[in-house]
């Protein structure tokens, strides 16, 4: 573990295809190279185990986030840096998790819907537009953007390197990383 490491939950929220996973992986690589103790909770993977069986109703989405928040809290209070990437579209539950954890940095991974849809990394927007997937965030389910994120990455305007550097610089200035 890096000297004097402080635990923190670094929470990437944004539309599908906005760049949460891509930035998270780049940040992870940089931090691992500096021997920080890390854990990753990726929304897609969590839904296959910790929150398996939950759907995409408001209630299920909130439960999904609450469970991710619970595990993040356990790790954070034991000095781990937890990197969470999850659409987490609802503001209230994100704020609830933030209050519980305390050491919490919200990163708004932001690109316009049209850009995310154009990228269509997993082909999900196409399926949502065709009506094959219901309650898809941005199409027929809302995304409530953070009102006051700690860090915002505009992935339609920044390179991956710029977005990654923004996150690392933000974590440093908030006192979670060594200089
Ligand atoms: P999410 O995890 O939010 O669903 P992904 O990370 O899977 O999104 O996909 C984002 C896509 O956007 C990737 O294909 C990535 O290469 C691209 N991209 C373009 N510019 C950026 C940027 N500045 N930061 C992150 N991703 C970017």
Interatomic CA distance for residues 28 and 105, integer angstroms: 15
What mean pLDDT do residues 87-97 have? 98
Catalytic residues: 88
Residue identifier of the C-alpha nearest atom 18 of ligand 1: 19
Q: Is the pLDDT of residue 2 over 80?
A: no
- pLDDT tens for 95-139 read 999 999 999 999 999 999 999 999 999 999 999 999 999 999 999
List the beta strands (DSSP E) in the chain.
8-13, 38-42, 81-85, 104-110, 151-154
Compute, in angstroms, the gap from residue 156 CA to the centroid of ligand 1.
Answer: 9
- Token pair for 118: 């154009």
Q: Is the pLDDT of residue 3 over 80?
A: no
Compute, in angstroms, the gap from residue 157 CA to the centroid of ligand 1.
Answer: 12
- Token pair for 172: 């440093």
Nearest to 112 by CA among 148, 138, 84, 142: 138
| Percent of the chain whose predicted confidence (pLDDT) is above 90 | 96
User: Helix, strand, or coil here: 145?
Assistant: coil
| pLDDT attached to residue 12 | 98
Architecture of the domain whose range is 8-111+143-163: 3-Layer(aba) Sandwich (3.40)
Residues framing ligand 1 (Cβ under 6 A): 14, 16-23, 85, 109, 119, 121, 155, 158-160, 163
Compute, in angstroms, the gap from residue 67 CA to the centroid of ligand 1.
Answer: 25
Which alpha helices (H) appear in 17-104, and where do they start and end? 20-33, 43-46, 58-76, 91-101
pTM attached to this predicted model = 0.96
- pLDDT tens for 15-48 read 999 999 999 999 999 999 999 999 999 999 999 9
Q: Which of 14, 17, 19 to mutate to test the pocket of ligand 1 (most atoms within 8 A of CB)?
A: 19
DSSP label at residue 97: H
What mean pLDDT do residues 152-166 have? 98
């Amino acid at each position: 573990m890096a000297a004097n490491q402080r635990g923190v939950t670094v929470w990437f929220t944004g539309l599908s295809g906005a760049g949460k996973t891509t930035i998270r992986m780049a940040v992870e690589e940089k931090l691992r190279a500096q021997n920080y103790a890390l854990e990753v909770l990726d929304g897609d993977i969590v839904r296959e185990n910790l929150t398996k069986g939950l759907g995409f109703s408001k209630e299920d989405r909130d439960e999904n986030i609450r469970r991710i928040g619970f595990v993040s809290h356990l790790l954070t209070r034991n000095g781990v840096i937890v990197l969470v990437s999850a659409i987490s579209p609802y503001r209230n539950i994100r704020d609830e998790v933030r209050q519980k954890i305390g050491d919490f940095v919200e990163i708004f991974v932001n690109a316009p819907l049209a850009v995310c849809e154009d990228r269509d990394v997993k082909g999900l927007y196409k399926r949502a537009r065709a009506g094959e997937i219901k309650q898809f965030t941005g199409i027929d389910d809302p995304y409530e953007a953070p009102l006051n994120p700690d860090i915002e990455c505009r992935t339609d305007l920044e390179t991956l390197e710029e977005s990654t550097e923004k996150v690392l610089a933000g974590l440093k200035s908030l006192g979670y990383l060594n200089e």
